[in-house]
């Protein structure tokens, strides 16, 4: 049974359009509640309760109320955390021994979008079978429990403080950030009242930007997907480091004192290399199909096992669990440190990078000096049928020709978009000129057969 509503990162869409409507979301809450109440799910929790957190989108009020109503109608107690990052919901669900955590967020998307994402009682994404059970329940009409079988709602007043203390606990007790000036960009999102406090309480001099949400400005010109204002602020304030998070706080990009950007691959390299030197790297590192080839070569040089998962932090997590490893991530800035948290966390990941820099007395430029990123060209080609294009002999021949030209010093990746009628053509390698030439050549062939 394929999933009808759940994608790789929950249910997401434009507010007011199915399925992101109050009617559907109330039914979704009810369906999830019935699955919980039935005891057919394997979601761990010592009491039947669901935590709801949200980012700063104006639609969060409406969707929170709809979820709350649906869950209570199914007899489930609801715990409201208010605006908190996605990883905070994962942590609080686990800490409060609840069965499920629900995040209302569309991550790095504009405010017109929103979504619903579920966490299990162990703070990880829901198993596929549980999502399928919820979808099956959605086919049944809502039948509100009798009054003596309704759930109740309670607000968690100390949710923010609990999560701040958790983040700080992932940084060594014998270490501090005194003497560092850090610009923290919260994307006007869910970390606006949290991130700056974490770094400040660890001793840093913090300049906060992107920390004035109005319900409509989330990710608008600020945050990990729009770092220009962070780069500008770092230089203006003569800061040592810049940290940019996305709207729901699970993605991280950083800059050095010159405003130079460092993506997820580079930050993951800093953490992995430090952990290897300290003897705390358990197993290897997981990247994705989009991880820069230079990162893979750097892992080989260090003798660190490396595997690629499909694109998406869900798949990185799955491969880490299969291998029994702890460290992985994406070049987009999702970094997972399973010895620190059960899911990707931008603040916690930033602290792991800062720990490495402080321990070694290095800047970001110093710590990544041995990692020479390869030029990468990505071309999106609009197609009617991506699978047919991938099966085309002409496209296959074009890929083979490009691989021969790169001569083992680069790689080619073609993959369909999961949300649009596009085939993504990615080529990377040591020679930027050849990379561009190969990417354009393959894209041209794809257009010819599309």
CA–CA separation, 74 and 145 (whole Å)? 6
Q: Are 100 and 127 in contact (CB under 8 A)?
A: no
Nearest to 181 by CA among 237, 103, 259, 261: 237
Question: Which tokens belong to 126?
Answer: 């829901």
Distances (CA, A) of 21 to 14, 24, 141, 250: 9, 5, 16, 25
Place of tokens 């974490």: 198
**Per-position DSSP letters for 178-202, written without gaps between them:** TT-EEEEE-TTSTTTTTHHHHHHHT
By the 8 A CB rule, do 189 and 225 touch? no
Closest of 243, 247, 242, 287 to residue 265, by C-alpha:
287
Q: Is 207 helix (H, G, I), strand (E, B) or coil?
A: strand
**Active site (annotated) includes residue 349:** no
Phi, psi of 396 (to 5 degrees): -60, -40
Contacts of 107 (CB under 8 A, 6+ apart): 9, 86, 115, 246, 247, 248, 250, 251
CB atoms within 10 A of CB 218: 32
Let me know if 44 is exposed, middle or buried by CB neighbors in 10 A (0-12, 13-18, 19+).
middle
β-strand partners of 117: 103
Residue 261's SS3 state is strand
Asked whether the beta carbons of 337 and 282 are under 8 A apart, the reply is no
In the DSSP assignment, the letter for residue 149 is G
Please name which of 58, 138, 141, 60 lies closest in space to residue 102, comparing C-alpha atoms. 60
CA angle 236, 240, 246 (to 5 degrees): 80
Q: Which of 59, 107, 120, 342 is catalytic?
A: 107
- The residues annotated as belonging to the active site are 107
């Amino acid at each position: 049974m394929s999933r009808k509503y759940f994608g790789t990162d929950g249910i997401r869409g434009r507010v007011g359009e199915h399925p992101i409507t109050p009617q559907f979301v109330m039914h979704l809450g009810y369906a999830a509640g019935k699955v919980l109440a039935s005891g057919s799910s394997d979601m761990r929790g010592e009491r039947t309760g669901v935590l709801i957190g949200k980012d700063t989108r104006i639609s969060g009020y409406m969707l929170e109320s709809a979820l709350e109503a649906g869950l209570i109608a199914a007899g489930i107690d609801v715990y409201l955390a208010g605006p908190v990052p996605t990883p905070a919901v994962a942590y609080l669900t686990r800490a409060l021994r609840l069965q499920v955590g629900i995040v209302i967020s569309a991550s790095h998307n504009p405010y017109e979008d929103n979504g619903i994402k579920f966490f299990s009682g162990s703070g990880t994404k829901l198993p596929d079978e549980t999502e399928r059970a919820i979808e099956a329940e959605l086919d049944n009409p809502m039948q509100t429990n009798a009054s003596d079988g309704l759930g109740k709602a309670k607000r968690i007043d100390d949710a923010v403080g609990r999560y701040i203390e958790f983040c700080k606990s992932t940084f060594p007790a014998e270490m501090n950030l005194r003497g560092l000036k850090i610009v923290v960009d919260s994307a006007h999102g869910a970390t606006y009242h949290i991130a700056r406090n974490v770094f400040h309480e660890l001793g840093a001099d913090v300049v906060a930007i992107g920390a004035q949400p109005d319900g409509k400005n989330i990710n608008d010109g600020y945050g990990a997907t729009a770092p220009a204002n962070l780069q500008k602020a770092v230089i203006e304030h003569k800061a040592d480091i810049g940290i940019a998070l996305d709207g729901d706080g699970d993605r991280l990009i950083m800059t050095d004192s010159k405003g130079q950007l460092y993506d997820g691959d580079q930050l993951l390299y800093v953490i992995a290399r430090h952990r290897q030197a300290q003897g705390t790297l358990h197993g290897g590192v997981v990247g994705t199909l989009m991880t820069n080839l230079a990162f893979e070569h750097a892992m080989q040089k260090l003798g660190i096992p490396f595997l690629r998962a499909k694109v998406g932090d869900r798949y990185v997590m799955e491969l880490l669990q299969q291998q029994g490893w702890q460290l992985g991530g994406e070049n987009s800035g999702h970094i997972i440190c399973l010895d620190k948290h059960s899911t990707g966390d931008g603040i916690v990941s930033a602290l792991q990078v800062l720990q490495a820099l402080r321990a070694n007395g290095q800047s970001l430029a110093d710590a990544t000096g041995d990692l020479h990123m390869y030029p990468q060209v990505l071309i999106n080609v609009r197609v009617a049928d991506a699978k047919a294009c991938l099966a085309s002999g002409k496209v296959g021949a074009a890929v083979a020709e490009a691989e021969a030209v790169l001569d083992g010093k680069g790689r080619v990746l073609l993959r369909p978009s999961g949300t649009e009628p596009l085939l993504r053509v990615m080529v990377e390698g040591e020679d930027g000129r050849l990379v561009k030439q190969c990417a354009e050549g393959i894209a041209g062939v794809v257009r010819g057969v599309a």
